[in-house]
């Protein structure tokens, strides 16, 4: 019974699907605006994915540094 109560508490504190969907939408809108990859160096799926992930990691690092700086 304790597991059910704990689960109920976790679920009640979880963001709603609407809120979560909005956050995902905002995330991808921001990524689309910030990723300025004009030319892919490689055309293989792996090469493109590496370039996209590299750009995303760079954005996150810059955002983190901006937050840390004040």
Q: 12: part of which helix (H) or strand (E)? A: helix 2-13
| Dist. CA 6–CA 33, nearest whole Å | 40
- Per-residue pLDDT band for 65 (boundaries 50, 70, 90) equals very high
For the chain, the structural domain boundaries read 1-25, 35-70
The per-residue pLDDT for range 16-32, each reduced to its tens digit, is 777 788 887 887 677 66
The answer to whether the beta carbons of residues 42 and 48 sit under 8 Å apart is: yes
Average pLDDT of span 51-58: 84
Please provide residue 3's backbone torsions phi and psi, each rounded to the nearest 5 degrees: -65, -40
- Per-residue pLDDT band for 48 (boundaries 50, 70, 90) equals confident
């Amino acid at each position: 019974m304790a597991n059910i109560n704990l689960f109920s508490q976790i679920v009640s504190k979880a963001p709603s699907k609407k809120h979560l969907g909005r956050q995902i939408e905002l995330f991808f809108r921001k990524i689309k605006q910030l990723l300025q990859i004009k030319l892919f160096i490689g055309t293989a799926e792996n090469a493109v994915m590496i370039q996209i992930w590299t750009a995303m990691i760079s954005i996150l690092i810059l955002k983190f540094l901006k937050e840390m700086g004040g």
